[in-house]
């Protein structure tokens, strides 16, 4: 599918990738949205919390929203997306991954970039309600990788899933990791590590035979975290095995649902392998937009609106 051209031009002072990333992550406020929480019990005894918001008019359309690394359903990039969908007559279900809703999950495992079994559980739960005829999935960053992997795994995707959108997607996880470990991204990497280790600390007294204080001390960077915890907790040999098996890039040729990836060219989190030009050219169901600006999830437009939110809605409206 030919690449989608983008005329996106943010206000001048937000043409810096770092400034747009930092402002959007730390300072953006989204008002006027009410969320209702539902707990979904999972087959393995764990749980996921879902935060619903609704269109003002009855609808048979809904969007599943997936957050990024150490995010949750109250982050402005999620509430902004939910509000935009609601205003367009689409209900929204914002997923909090395991351990991300303000309460430690029950199992030693948690969430990761390739845990499509949890997304599948959410989709099936929604279909059991027998209320929605059209389902859209929008994933941001880690959630975007998860969404694209889900529709590219050669699984039987329910017919109700009509479109998928991924924003700032680390299509090649190892390529993204290498960028995050560079000096330019040190403040982001340190912040991610701090939050990940804090959650792992909570598991220490619950699972003393699986994680030790020395293990936690040994976590100096994000790759260490994936070597010591993510890979071991989720059945991978090591961090590199996890990155290889869970990167959505290898699944993009098999995507059968209309899917859009929006990755800014000035996104400091994404390496060259995270821009799937070849895959988009060869798969009629895969669309790729690479705006010059936007940073990482920082597609700021005018009056607190975001290009990525408006473009996602246009895409799902066009393909249905």
The yes-or-no answer on residue 268 being catalytic is: no
Q: At what angle do helices 173-180 and 186-203 cross, to 10 degrees?
A: 110
Nearest to 230 by CA among 109, 107, 136, 89: 109
Which of 141, 175, 247, 259 is an active site residue? Answer: 141
268 exposure class (CB count in 10 Å sphere: 0-12, 13-18, 19+): middle
Q: Which residues face 165 on adjacent strands?
A: 138, 260
Residue 240, classed as helix, strand or coil, is helix
Which of the residues 51, 227, 267, 308 is marked catalytic? Answer: 267
HSE of 195, CA atoms in CB hemisphere, 13 A: 13
What residues have CB less than 8 Å from 88, skipping those under 6 apart?
A: 55, 313, 317
Separation CA 183–CA 254 (nearest Å): 35
- Mark whether 51 is an active-site residue: no
Question: Which residue is catalytic, options 234, 259, 296, 308?
Answer: 296
Q: Which of 94, 98, 89, 52 is nearest to 77 (CA)?
A: 94
Cβ(263)–Cβ(270) below 8 Å: yes
Q: If you search the block for the tokens 């019990």, which residue do you land on?
A: 41
d(CA 48, CA 72): 11
296 as an active site residue: the answer is yes
Active site residues: 141, 267, 296
């Amino acid at each position: 599918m030919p690449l989608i051209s983008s005329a996106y031009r943010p206000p001048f002072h937000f043409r810096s990738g770092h400034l747009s990333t930092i402002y959007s992550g730390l300072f953006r406020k989204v008002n006027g949205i009410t969320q209702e929480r539902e707990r979904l019990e999972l087959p393995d005894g764990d749980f996921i919390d879902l935060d619903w918001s609704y269109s003002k008019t009855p609808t048979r359309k809904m969007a599943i929203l997936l957050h990024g690394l150490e995010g949750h359903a109250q982050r402005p990039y999620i509430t902004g997306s939910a509000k935009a969908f609601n205003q367009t007559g689409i209900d929204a279900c914002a997923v909090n991954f395991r351990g991300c809703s303000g309460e430690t999950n029950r199992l030693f495992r948690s969430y990761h970039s390739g845990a499509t079994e949890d997304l599948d559980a959410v989709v099936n739960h929604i279909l059991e309600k027998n209320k929605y005829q059209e389902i859209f999935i929008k994933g941001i960053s880690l959630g975007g990788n998860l969404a694209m992997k889900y529709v590219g795994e050669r699984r039987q995707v329910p017919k109700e899933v009509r479109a998928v959108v991924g924003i700032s997607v680390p299509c090649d996880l190892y390529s993204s990791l290498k960028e995050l470990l560079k000096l330019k991204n040190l403040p982001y990497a340190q912040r991610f590590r701090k939050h990940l280790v804090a959650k792992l600390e909570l598991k220490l007294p619950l699972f003393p035979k699986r994680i030790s204080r020395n293990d936690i001390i040994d976590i100096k960077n994000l790759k260490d975290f994936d070597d010591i915890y993510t890979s071991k907790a989720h059945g991978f040999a090591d961090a590199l095995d996890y990155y290889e098996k869970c990167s959505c890039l290898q699944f993009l040729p098999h995507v059968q649902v209309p899917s859009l990836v929006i990755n800014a060219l000035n996104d400091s989190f994404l390496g060259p392998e995270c821009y799937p030009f070849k895959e988009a050219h060869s798969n009629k169901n895969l669309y790729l937009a690479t705006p010059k600006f936007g940073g990482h999830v920082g597609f700021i437009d005018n009056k607190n609106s975001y290009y990525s939110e408006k473009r996602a809605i246009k895409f799902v409206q066009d393909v249905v």
